[in-house]
Structure 1
């Protein structure tokens, strides 16, 4: 094991304007240690209350509600587009990033035999959609291998080298879910454009973590979740299509807006409960007004640095090994710590470990795998404290080491 470096200090805890801990702004149960914000997010009380009021309004006068709903959706969409660095006329709202990707797969004109290129860091549901689209076209999916520690230039080259004359669509993550790294999407989309390949950027984790995440990307379509680090109620995401492809994009469900232009035809979704869409700007505004996005991102970086160090050192103290992970282009609020051998080596094993840890030990944690190695993915937000991190190191790490020992790892 390498010699121990000086510990990374915990940042000063965030507080609310009245001095209460940041955690009081969320409805999270204190019975669970929450270190997995990135999977499903967590909604501030202010947004929950706003959404509850909207639902009450909807139920008090359903006819009046739906008669005026499209105007309210358009206003919320404009607010969210501005926060994302996109033009409102290029921005549609969808339930989640996977739904946005499905819109592209369902509507994209493609020649027979066309290929889709993805990376081995891609989100499973989005990759499954790409496979289905390729089958429909009589083509195939090709996967670009990007080493976990690849630099921006190496990652760009690995992806572009996988493109072929048959490639119609490239799907690439802005921030990868399983491996907690950025990919150099602007450089990748530029190279794809030079080769005549359309690009779909999966920015599921980007809103909040990246300032104006759609700006300057050069993507044909970008999709991103508002319910993750922007803390909106589930389910709300944005689909941004700045080029001509947007005219071919339609919602997955035909409704009365089917004859409208993009993006207005996405604003009409029959009788779906769209209160999450209307309350999403409340979450964004709460975080901006309470701490400011620049200061919040700096705090998340410091907290993630601290968590990665403390948890990694706790594993090393038990195993005598180095559990740090060399991630090219790391993410401010998401970090990986290598698990002991024998744990989480496959997606199925990682998911089973996640379910067991929350059910038996009270930790909401994410476990991922890449290249046959299992990782604990730490994911922090404003409410994460040094005490949460200490609980992971003192209580969860020994459990995981014991499980690895019992597995023969």
Structure 2
């Protein structure tokens, strides 16, 4: 949306009984919840389903745990259908970082022990890659992808770091800090030609993208179902194809270790797996109430509106109202540039998140990239235009004051 276009607020989504969509969640009405992308939000029906499953588990644990692998396998079939993948390719893991750790634990050095990541990568996943490189006696090479890089520029930036010593490439499908896509489809096709394994971090993709794995060539893909899918936290998928998948094992050895992939992931001793079993209930709520295509359209329109009204509010303070160009945008997520003096680093961004939550009663995501701070918008069906209008009217002026205070402190040093 350009600066001259008029922003049109999408009509709020309603439940089948006419209540606002937020009525299906237990979110605190005293807070504005504008950060779905970090931890998700579990609808009441999924919370209730998980509570019922836990009660069943505690009533008869000796009956529950021997039968649990079969129930997890059945849940995998439903979750695989949502992602449009073969259930035989999909294992369930606690989160996308755990999926990456499973991959790191399975691979051996074959060439020079180099791992290629990008400067948009999720910190925990990159840390795991660094630890693996140390174990291999290799190193991590970081592809520098400009924030506004288009598909061709991003592709070239990643492939420029791939060479004869490369043993693994790790690329985000949707970046966490910068809310953009990376061309994992093109990168995967070229890496397959070079016989270099690719791990795709798709943490944000399930629910946000209709078919996140449809056109991708990859060895490993991992994505969270507890973000846009709204499943109970601790529900993620690890999808693996090709010969390397048979080397994947759960991070905890259990009695299913002798089973083939992915069945061996279904048996994890006394781990509470009720989140996996309740996940289809959350996905079904959105499908039955609005349909996932309509929900995605709403989230994208709302994020667009939010970026416009909040960006305009910041522009009145700074004089710069240009939208942030992320090169390959994604639905439902936007970046808004913060004034100088705010969130110049990850530590500062996290501190700002906490301060805004405690002092302004808004749950928001603040990120940093290349020394600049951003507000990251990530909408869901329970959000409304009023949430973003409130932030623009009530929070932006305060953030402007904080930015001036911080800039004054730095100039006085």
TM-score, with length taken from structure 1? 0.98
Distance in 1, matches of 2:153 and 2:293, equals 29
Alignment match, 2:212: 213
User: Secondary structure of 1:368's match?
Assistant: strand
Distance in 2, matches of 1:20 and 1:408, equals 45
Distance in 1, matches of 2:3 and 2:158, equals 36
Distance in 1, matches of 2:62 and 2:211, equals 36
Distance in 2, matches of 1:131 and 1:335, equals 29
Alignment match, 2:297: 298
Pairing 1:281–2:280 present? yes
Distance in 1, matches of 2:391 and 2:330, equals 20
Alignment match, 2:411: none
Does the CA contact (< 8 Å) of 1:315 and 1:323 recur in 2? Answer: no
* Shift in Å, 1:112: 6.6
* Shift in Å, 1:4: 4.8
* Shift in Å, 1:319: 1.8
Distance in 1, matches of 2:17 and 2:242, equals 46
Distance in 1, matches of 2:93 and 2:87, equals 14
Match runs of 1:54-203 below 5 Å: 54-111=53-110, 113-203=112-202
* Shift in Å, 1:289: 1.1
* Shift in Å, 1:12: 1.0
* Shift in Å, 1:141: 0.2
Match runs of 1:38-49 below 5 Å: 38-49=37-48
* Shift in Å, 1:323: 4.9
Distance in 2, matches of 1:227 and 1:262, equals 23
Distance in 1, matches of 2:363 and 2:129, equals 30
Alignment match, 2:317: 318
Does the CA contact (< 8 Å) of 1:111 and 1:137 recur in 2? Answer: no
> Cα deviations across residues 153-195 of structure 1 (Å, max 9, x unaligned)?
1111111111011001000000000000011110011111122
Distance in 1, matches of 2:335 and 2:26, equals 26
Alignment match, 2:379: 380
Distance in 1, matches of 2:357 and 2:63, equals 43
* Shift in Å, 1:216: 2.3
* Shift in Å, 1:342: 1.2
* Shift in Å, 1:211: 1.1
Does the CA contact (< 8 Å) of 2:3 and 2:321 recur in 1? Answer: no
Distance in 2, matches of 1:167 and 1:203, equals 21
Instruction: Answer with 220-229 or 323-332: which moved more.
Output: 323-332
Alignment match, 1:390: 389
Distance in 2, matches of 1:67 and 1:196, equals 40
Alignment match, 2:350: 351
Stretches of 4+ aligned residues off by more than 6 angstroms: none
> Cα deviations across residues 205-264 of structure 1 (Å, max 9, x unaligned)?
000011121222111000000000000001010000021111000001101111111001
Distance in 1, matches of 2:21 and 2:207, equals 17
Listed as ranges, the gaps of 5+ residues in structure 2 are 409-413
Alignment match, 2:253: 254
Match runs of 1:230-269 below 5 Å: 230-269=229-268
Distance in 2, matches of 1:404 and 1:108, equals 46
Does the CA contact (< 8 Å) of 1:183 and 1:329 recur in 2? Answer: yes
Distance in 2, matches of 1:315 and 1:215, equals 38
User: Secondary structure of 2:68's match?
Assistant: helix
Does the CA contact (< 8 Å) of 1:7 and 1:309 recur in 2? Answer: no
> Cα deviations across residues 246-296 of structure 1 (Å, max 9, x unaligned)?
100000110111111100110011101100000001111111111111111
* Shift in Å, 1:111: 2.9
User: Secondary structure of 1:407's match?
Assistant: helix
Does the CA contact (< 8 Å) of 1:304 and 1:333 recur in 2? Answer: yes
TM-score, with length taken from structure 2? 0.97
Listed as ranges, the gaps of 5+ residues in structure 1 are none
> Cα deviations across residues 272-328 of structure 1 (Å, max 9, x unaligned)?
110000000111111111111111111111101100000000001122222521111
Alignment match, 2:22: 23
Distance in 2, matches of 1:199 and 1:6, equals 41
> Cα deviations across residues 27-85 of structure 1 (Å, max 9, x unaligned)?
00011110000000001111011001101111111111112111100000111011112
User: Secondary structure of 1:142's match?
Assistant: strand
